[in-house]
Amino acid sequence: MLPTPSSPWPSRMRWALYAGMALLALLAVLCPPVAQPPGYHAFADQRAWGALPHAMDVLSNLGFVAAALAGAWALARCGRATLPPAVRGLSGLFFAGLACAGVASAWYHGAPHDATLVWDRLAMAVAFAGLLGLAVQTRVDDRSAWAVALAVLAAGPWTLYLWAASGNVLPWALLQGGACWPCWPCWPWPACRRAPGRWRCIWAR
C-alpha cells in the first residue's frame, strides 16, 4: 500500500533527511581541509577548433543547455492545474540551473582556472537544488522538498566562499557528492506524492 501524507513514513523520511543534512554540515566543518588537486584544470581534450580551446569539452555542454530548454518548453506547455505548485517551481529551478550550468561550464572549460570554476560550480548548485527538491517531493512532502532545495542554494555559495578563502574543497565535495545521501532513505519506499498525467512517470519513479 502506498504511504500517504498522514502515514508515519513521510515523517520518518523527513527526520532522516534533516539528520543527513546536519551530518553533512558537521563533516564540512569538523573534517580536516582537503586541497583541490594541482592538475584539476588539465583536461583530456587538448584539441582546439579554430580559436576555440578544449573544443569538445566546451561544445559538450551544449547538451545541457538543449536539455534545459526542452524541459522548460515542456513545463511551459503543461497547464498550471496539471502540476502541483511545488513540482512546477522545483522543475523550473532545475531547468534554470541546468541551463546556467551548461553556459558556465562551457565558459570554464574554454578558460580553465579557479575564477571561472566558481561560476560553473555555483550554477551546478542551483541545478542540484531543483533536482534534489524534486526527489524529496515525490517521497516525502512539499515542505521538506523546499527545505532541501533552499539548503542547497544556501550551502552552494558558502562552500565556494570557503574554497576561495582557504583552498579547502571538502565542503563543496560534500555538497556535490554527498548531497544525494539524505535522499537515499527515500528510495526504497514508493512515491507518496504523485504528479498527474504524463508527468507521473518522470517525477514518481
- Summarised one tens digit per residue, pLDDT across range 73-118 is 998 888 776 788 899 999 999 999 999 999 999 999 988 899 999 9
Q: Which residue has the higher pLDDT, 46 or 1?
A: 46
Q: H helices of the chain, where?
A: 8-30, 55-59, 62-77, 85-110, 114-139, 142-166, 170-178, 200-203
Residue 42 falls inside a structural domain:
no
Q: What is the pLDDT of residue 47?
A: 79
Q: How far is CA 174 from CA 20, 42, 60, in A?
A: 12, 22, 25
- The structure's pTM equals 0.81
Q: Is residue 41 part of a domain?
A: no
Query: Is residue 130 within 8 Å of residue 89, measured between CB atoms?
Result: no
Q: Which domain holds residue 167?
A: 53-203
Q: What is the pLDDT of residue 146?
A: 93
**39-43, 127-131, 182-186, 196-200: the lowest-pLDDT one:** 196-200
User: Is 110 domain-assigned?
Assistant: yes
Confidence category of residue 141, pLDDT binned at 50, 70, 90 = confident
pLDDT one-digit tens code per residue, 23-79:
888 989 899 999 998 888 887 677 778 788 888 888 889 999 999 999 999 988 887
DSSP state of 130: H
The verdict on residue 74 lying in a domain is yes
- For the chain, what's the residue count? 205
Answer yes or no: is 102 within a domain. yes
Any domain includes 23: no
Kindly tell me if the per-residue pLDDT of 164 is higher than 60.
Answer: yes
Q: Is the residue at 40 inside a domain?
A: no
Is 70 contained in some domain? yes
Total count of domains within the chain:
1
Residue 35 sits at φ, ψ, to 5 deg, of -85, 150
Evaluate if residue 22 carries a pLDDT over 80: yes
Report whether pLDDT(200) > 80: no
pLDDT higher at 136 or 185:
136
Which residues make beta-bridge pairs with 49? Answer: 52
